[in-house]
Structures are given as structure tokens and as C-alpha cells.
């Protein structure tokens, strides 16, 4: 029996969501929450595609779905997996069934990169099963292509950080760089519980840009200066400046229309309870708030936020991106 396992991390965006779609750099990091995919070929049991998750139930598709481009499933949670199978299974008739288990610790649809982690781990695990792709760069290309079926203008940033891991500087048209940071970065995520569609929010910003081109360009160049100063502040480990720049970035996100009253309320509470800086992270429209705090304030901060009824959890930056394990055998 041949089996593969791949896991890919969630992400936080420290600076630059949305602006990255319009050729500005973004600063983002992989965090210590993962989505894991286990795949195996079923030689003996049913000849079908068996999909299981720890939070979206189970589904069985006929093997024929790989070859008939059935569009009825495009809105289903499992569609990215079927899309990846369509790319990786070359035979006209696949003789064996496949079981794919998805186990995720990443809250879904709240800006922490669950879709990107699904695409990255999915491509790695399925391509491992059929021995298709050679390295992380090739996996990343197909993962971004897959993510674009979910939101067509994806900058690719989420898949990049989920693949390579660490604290990264990424620009759509140039190389990815690992950033140095010289201090403990103590981040807390606060979940508004309001799910969003990244594609809809990217379209909303695009409409804002088209209707207010001059204002958007002005906001975008303000962001560009924030990003340069943020790289320096991270290198110096200057927490006060990092926090201040997060607050400035948040003001720009409000101006382009992706913040919400609930996000603003959480940010105000965060500052009241001692956050050094606070902003939305990811596409916005609800989702999660990212607050930077002094490490010694962590417990106090979390208890205050929980008393206010919010789900919140500390996260740390994880160096490792995609992890893959291919078990071969006599199959």
C-alpha cells in the first residue's frame, strides 16, 4: 500500500494584505497551526474517492469524477481536492480507490490561510501518491493555480508562506525573502467568528480602487512606506515601532473598506488591554484580529479578551512550511 502525508501551516499577515494584490510587498508568517492530509490508494476496498475531514464531514465521489469535468461541485468544500486529482491522475481509468483524510487545526474562513494550507498540503500529498512533482517550487505553482479556482485574483502570498514557512517578505513579481527579526514576537489572534469570502473582499477593494483611483494610489504609497519601516523595525526587534506600524496599516485597511465595526471594537479593546499594536489579518470583513503584546502581558490579555466573550489564542511563528512524508511499499 502506498500512502503519503503532508501538512501545511496557517498564516498571519503582519503587513500588506490587499495591497499585495496591487504589486506592493507583503510581510507574513507561518504559524503553529496546521492542516494535515493523509492519502492512500485503496487496492482492496471500494473503488471510489473517499474524503473525510475532522470538521466538514465525509463525502464519497465516484472515480469517474476525475475524468468528467463536472462543474456541479465547484462550490463544494472538497472541490480543490478533486481539481488536484484531475491534475495528478493521468490514467483514463484509475483502477483503485483513493482515501483522503483532512485533519485541520486552522479555523476556516477567518483569514488564517486555511484554503492555502488545503491547496498546498493537498497538492503535496496527492502528487506524492502518484510521484508527480519534484520539489516545493513545483508544488507551490499548482497550489496557487488551485487556490485561484477559489479566488481568482489571489496574489499567491498565502500559498507561498504555507509552502516555505517562516517570516517572509513577498512581492508578486519578485523573489521571496526570509526576514530576520531579533526579538520575541508575541502575537494573539482574536477571532470575530464572522466568516468571509476572500474573493468577495478582493473584489470590493478592486471596486474601491476603480472608483477612487487617486485616493487608492495615495493609500498604497503610504502603505509602501509602512512596509519599508516595518522591515527595519523587525530587524531591530523594535516592538514599539512594529506595533505603531500595525496600527497605521490598520487605518489604511479601514480606508479601503475591509475593516468592520466588530474588528474595530476588538482593536480598541486590544489597545485598552495593553496591545502594542493591533490590526485585522487576512482579507478582513470580519475574520481575525492580530494583536502584538508584551510577552509578559499574554495571560492578562487573553483572560480579558475571553471575559469579553472572544475566542482568542496566542500564536508563534513557525519556521517550517510544508512537511511531506511518502511511505512506499511493495504496491
Min dist. Cβ of residue 301 to ligand MEV (A): 24
Instruction: By CB under 6 A, tell whether 282 contacts ligand MEV.
Output: yes
Q: How many CB atoms lie within 10 A of CB 148?
A: 15
State the minimum distance, in angstroms, from the CB of residue 302 to ligand MEV: 24
Q: Cell for 185?
A: 514576537
Do the Cβ atoms of 42 and 97 come closer than 8 Å? yes
Q: How far apart are CA 286 and CA 10, in angstroms?
A: 17
Please select the residue that binds ligand MEV; options are 7, 10, 12, 18, rule is CB under 6 A: 18
Pairing of strands 48-53, 97-104: parallel
C-beta of 65: minimal distance to ligand MEV in Å? 28
Q: Of 17 and 38, which CB lies nearer to ligand MEV in the complex structure?
A: 17
Binding ligand MEV by CB under 6 A: which of 8, 14, 17, 239? 17
Pairing of strands 26-42, 3-15: antiparallel
* 118 forms part of the interface with ligand MEV (CB under 6 A): no
Q: Which range touches ligand MEV (CB under 6 A), out of 56-64, 152-160, 188-196, 298-306?
A: 152-160
Pick the binder of ligand MEV from 21, 66, 118, 168 (CB under 6 A): 21
Smallest distance, ligand MEV to C-beta of residue 202, A: 5
Judged by CB, which is closer to ligand MEV: 116, or 133? 116
By CB under 6 A, which span of 47-55, 73-81, 150-158, 313-321 interacts with ligand MEV?
A: 150-158
Grid coordinates of 104: 485541520
| Closest to ligand MEV by CB, 53 or 198 | 198
Which element (helix H / strand E) includes 220?
helix 213-236
Q: Which three cell numbers stand for residue 83?
A: 481539481
Write the interaction track for ligand MEV spanning residues 289-318; mark x where CB under 6 A is met and - where it is not. ------------------------------
202 in contact with ligand MEV (CB under 6 A): yes
Question: Among residues 159, 75, 170, which one has the least CA distance to residue 123?
Answer: 159
Nearest-CB residue for ligand MEV: 155
- DSSP three-state, residue 132: coil
Q: Does 20 bind ligand MEV (CB under 6 A)?
A: yes
What is the C-alpha to C-alpha distance for residues 169 and 34, in angstroms, rounded to an integer? 21
Name the minimum Å distance from CB 114 to ligand MEV: 10
Q: Which is nearer to ligand MEV, 111 or 321 (CB)?
A: 111
Q: How long, in residues, is the chain? A: 331
CA distance 115 to 152: 13
Is the CB of 113 or the CB of 122 nearer to ligand MEV?
Answer: 113
Selected from 81, 253, 283, 305, the binder of ligand MEV by CB under 6 A is 283
Phi and psi based region of residue 41 (left: phi greater than 0; alpha: psi -120 to 50; beta: remaining) = beta
Rank residues 153 and 217 by Cβ distance to ligand MEV and give the closer one.
153
Query: Which residues fall within 8 angstroms of residue 78, CB to CB, at 6 or more apart?
Result: 51, 56, 59, 61
For residues 186 and 294, is the Cβ–Cβ distance under 8 A?
A: yes
Backbone phi, psi, residue 4, to 5° = -135, 150
* Residue numbers at the binding site for ligand MEV (CB under 6 A): 13, 17-18, 20-21, 111, 154-155, 157-158, 198, 202, 282-283
Amino acid at each position: 500500500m502506498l500512502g503519503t502525508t503532508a501538512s501545511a501551516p496557517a498564516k498571519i499577515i503582519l503587513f500588506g494584505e490587499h495591497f499585495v494584490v496591487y504589486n506592493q510587498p507583503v510581510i507574513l508568517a507561518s504559524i503553529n497551526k496546521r492542516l494535515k492530509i493523509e492519502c492512500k490508494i485503496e487496492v482492496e476496498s471500494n473503488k471510489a474517492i473517499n474524503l473525510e475531514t475532522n470538521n466538514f464531514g465525509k463525502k464519497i465521489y465516484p472515480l469517474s469524477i476525475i475524468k468528467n469535468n463536472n462543474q456541479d461541485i465547484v462550490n463544494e468544500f472538497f472541490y480543490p481536492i478533486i481539481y488536484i486529482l484531475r491534475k495528478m491522475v493521468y490514467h483514463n481509468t484509475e483502477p483503485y480507490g483513493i482515501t483522503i483524510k483532512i485533519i485541520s487545526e486552522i479555523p476556516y474562513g477567518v483569514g488564517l490561510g486555511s484554503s492555502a494550507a488545503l491547496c498546498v498540503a493537498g497538492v503535496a500529498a496527492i502528487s506524492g501518491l502518484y510521484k508527480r512533482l519534484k520539489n516545493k517550487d513545483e508544488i507551490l505553482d499548482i497550489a496557487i493555480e488551485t487556490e485561484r479556482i477559489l479566488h481568482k485574483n489571489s496574489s499567491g502570498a498565502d500559498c507561498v508562506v504555507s509552502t516555505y514557512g517562516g517570516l517572509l517578505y513577498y512581492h508578486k513579481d519578485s523573489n521571496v525573502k526570509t526576514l530576520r527579526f531579533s526579538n520575541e514576537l508575541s502575537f494573539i489572534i482574536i477571532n470575530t467568528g464572522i466568516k468571509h469570502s476572500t474573493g468577495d473582499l478582493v473584489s470590493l477593494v478592486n471596486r474601491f480602487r476603480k472608483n477612487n483611483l487617486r485616493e487608492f494610489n495615495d493609500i498604497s504609497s503610504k502603505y509602501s512606506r509602512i512596509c519599508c519601516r516595518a522591515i527595519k523595525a523587525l530587524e531591530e526587534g523594535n516592538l514599539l515601532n512594529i506595533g505603531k506600524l500595525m496600527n497605521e496599516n490598520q487605518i489604511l485597511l479601514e480606508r479601503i473598506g475591509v475593516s468592520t465595526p466588530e474588528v474595530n471594537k476588538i482593536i480598541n479593546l486590544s489597545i485598552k488591554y495593553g496591545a502594542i499594536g493591533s490590526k485585522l489579518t487576512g482579507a478582513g470583513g470580519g475574520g481575525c484580529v492580530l494583536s502584538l503584546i508584551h510577552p509578559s502581558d499574554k495571560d492578562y490579555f487573553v483572560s480579558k479578551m475571553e471575559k469579553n466573550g472572544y475566542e482568542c489564542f496566542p500564536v508563534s511563528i513557525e519556521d517550517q512550511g510544508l512537511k511531506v512524508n511518502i511511505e512506499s511499499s511493495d504496491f
